[in-house]
Amino acid sequence: MAVKVMIPTPLRAYAEKRDHVEVAAKTVGEALNSLIARHGELRRHLYQEDGRLRSFVNVYLNDEDIRYLQKEATPVKDGDTVSLVPSIAGGISTRLRWES
């Protein structure tokens, strides 16, 4: 089954600057494994050393968070889209301080 895996901008440098990759898979986990097989440098950005997805990497099947489905065992069908959405934190305060 052809599944599209969307690659977020910060990770495209590790995937030949591609915004997506089409893979054959039956589950979300298989889709991610196929992605890693093609673009091995992504592994360290997506997975911990013990093989679990990093906590700041959110994965969606179409518009649904896989954490509320069957996680990586979630089945996929032809034409589905798997999106990788890394959490982003940080920034600076924009609060102004008025002085008199």
CATH number, domain of 33, equals 3.10.20.30
Backbone φ, ψ for residue 21 (5° rounding): -140, 135
pLDDT (0 to 100) of residue 38? 96
Domain range for 71: 2-86
Does residue 14 lie within any of the structural domains?
A: yes
Domain count, the chain: 1
Residue 90 has pLDDT above 80, yes or no: no
Does residue 94 lie within any of the structural domains?
A: no
What integer is the mean pLDDT of 21-27?
97
This prediction's pTM: 0.84
Does residue 37 lie within any of the structural domains?
A: yes
